[in-house]
Amino acid sequence: MRGKSVLLIIGGGIAAYKSLDLIRRLVERGVKTRAILTRAGAEFVTPLSVAALTAEKVYSDLFSLTDESEMGHIELSRAADLVVVAPATADLMGKLAAGLASDLASTALLATDKRILMAPAMNVRMWQSPSVRRSADILARDGVLFVGPNDGEMACGEFGPGRMAEPLEIVTAIEKALAIPGSALNGFKALVTAGPTQEPLDPVRFLGNRSSGKQGYAIADALASAGADTVLISGPVEIAAPSHVKLVRVTTAREMLAACEAELPADIAVMSAAVADWRPEFAMNSKIKKEAGHAAPVVRLVENPDILAELAHHQKRPRLVVGFAAETDDVLSHATAKRSRKGADWIVANDVSTNGKGETVMGGERNQVHLITATKQESWPEMAKADVARRLVQHITQHFQDTAS
């Protein structure tokens, strides 16, 4: 753990006194610890004791000009290797599960690109209440790690689950959490394509699609977190790139292919971009005018290069080529055929039709995929795109471990 850094968020609860011991244990082990003390947390421990133990400034105010000029809240949330919430109150869990950012602690939790470990502490009935159960389920599905709560007598006199894990248990959980990412794909280079391509018709119009890039960005993030040197080649999207990947922005399919080829050789290619199969044969240099009495223009399309197929048959072919298949019907049979037609090792198939509520995988937060290889086919349950990414990266890691042995 020596040399690692932790951002500790201290929520408001009687167990907050144990977070002081936790800091002491972390500092003893050479872990640099910065703390955010919530307003409620400051009712239980003082900023002075937290500052004395961490030997760092204690952060508590989202709107502090001084803090923001020293270290903005986004940077604060990302500078650490791990974010630990101890005690994690029902309030902090609920805010993160609901995506609320109403103070520095909840904002840092939403803005972080690092793993989060929570040590819940609350009254047993609160812990068992349907809404806290819901929050805990959502957070677990989103990849938040938990330590505790333990069973025992509570400060309020009741007995049951709700006591915060002991500082040494939290230290062990931190050690495990810090060990999860990082080394499995060290020394591997990964290429990920994400987002849509836009194929110009004239300077203001293009042919495109609804891909948001969320799935591909999550995959790039998960690969980088597993230690791979990751290049993310992205069409135009609105989301921020993970901080630890190299981002190459492109607009058209032909630019995306050139950017991929420029990054070869690579070990892993994951092609999740929604590349336009066709482009307008001619892109006009000036805006096509609508003129009275003239018929609507006829746009002739020509085929774009197939980037996945090109990389799968390239002289410098990556060792593992993973394509995606976006289907609206016969998902498995179309995706299986696509895998062999394009020469990919694996295909991740997803159904991109709109469900009854008008939601679709393209642009949405969740995905339900099937992993198709030459020898097996697995259907995964619906989950957050970040979880799909992490699970895919676990398979990639396993694949390289199996082929090495």
Of 248, 352, 383, 396, which one interacts with ligand PMT (CB under 6 A)? 352
Of 274, 321, 331, 383, which one interacts with ligand PMT (CB under 6 A)? 274
Of 116, 361, 393, 396, which one interacts with ligand PMT (CB under 6 A)? 361
Tell me the window of 109-117, 129-137, 303-311, 312-320 that interacts with ligand PMT (CB under 6 A). 303-311
| Distance (Å, whole) CA 330 – CA 195 | 24
Dihedral angle computed from the Cα positions of residues 13, 19, 21 and 27, in that order, rounded to the nearest 10 degrees: -170
- Of 64 and 354, CB closest to ligand PMT: 354
Q: DSSP class of residue 359?
A: -
Judged by CB under 6 A, does residue 330 bind ligand PMT? no
Judged by CB under 6 A, does residue 269 bind ligand PMT? no
Of 176, 363, 377, 394, which one interacts with ligand PMT (CB under 6 A)? 363
Task: Find where tokens 């901080």 sit.
Answer: 243
Annotated catalytic residue within 55, 156, 301, 337 = 156
| Distance (Å, whole) CA 339 – CA 1 | 42
Binding footprint of ligand PMT, residue count (CB under 6 A):
30
For 356-369, give one letter per residue: b (16+ CB within 10 A) or e: eeeeebbeeebbeb
Amino acid identity, position 151: D
Cβ–Cβ < 8 Å for 392, 322: yes
| Distance (Å, whole) CA 146 – CA 396 | 25
Q: Considering only residues 29-68, where is the footprint of ligand PMT by CB under 6 A?
A: none
Residues 6+ apart with CB under 8 A from 212: 195, 237, 238, 239, 362, 363
Judged by CB under 6 A, does residue 308 bind ligand PMT? yes
Judged by CB under 6 A, does residue 213 bind ligand PMT? yes
Judged by CB under 6 A, does residue 114 bind ligand PMT? no
Q: Does 156 qualify as catalytic in the annotation?
A: yes
Locate 82 and state its tokens: 């791990």
Pair type for strands 246-249 and 268-271: unpaired
Residues 6+ apart with CB under 8 A from 107: 62, 73, 77, 101
Q: Considering only residues 229-258, where is the footprint of ligand PMT by CB under 6 A?
A: 253
Judged by CB under 6 A, does residue 215 bind ligand PMT? yes
- Of 33 and 212, CB closest to ligand PMT: 212
Judged by CB under 6 A, does residue 277 bind ligand PMT? yes
Residues 6+ apart with CB under 8 A from 246: 230, 231, 232
- Torsion angles phi and psi, residue 206, rounded to 5: -150, 165
Judged by CB under 6 A, does residue 266 bind ligand PMT? no
- Of 89 and 272, CB closest to ligand PMT: 272
Judged by CB under 6 A, does residue 350 bind ligand PMT? yes
Tell me the window of 5-13, 102-110, 207-215, 389-397 that interacts with ligand PMT (CB under 6 A). 207-215
Judged by CB under 6 A, does residue 271 bind ligand PMT? yes
Tell me the window of 199-207, 283-291, 359-367, 375-383 that interacts with ligand PMT (CB under 6 A). 359-367
| Distance (Å, whole) CA 284 – CA 81 | 49
Judged by CB under 6 A, does residue 324 bind ligand PMT? yes
- Interface with ligand PMT (CB under 6 A): 193, 195, 211-216, 253, 271-275, 277, 304, 306-308, 323-326, 338, 350, 352, 361-363, 385
Q: Which residues are catalytic?
A: 156
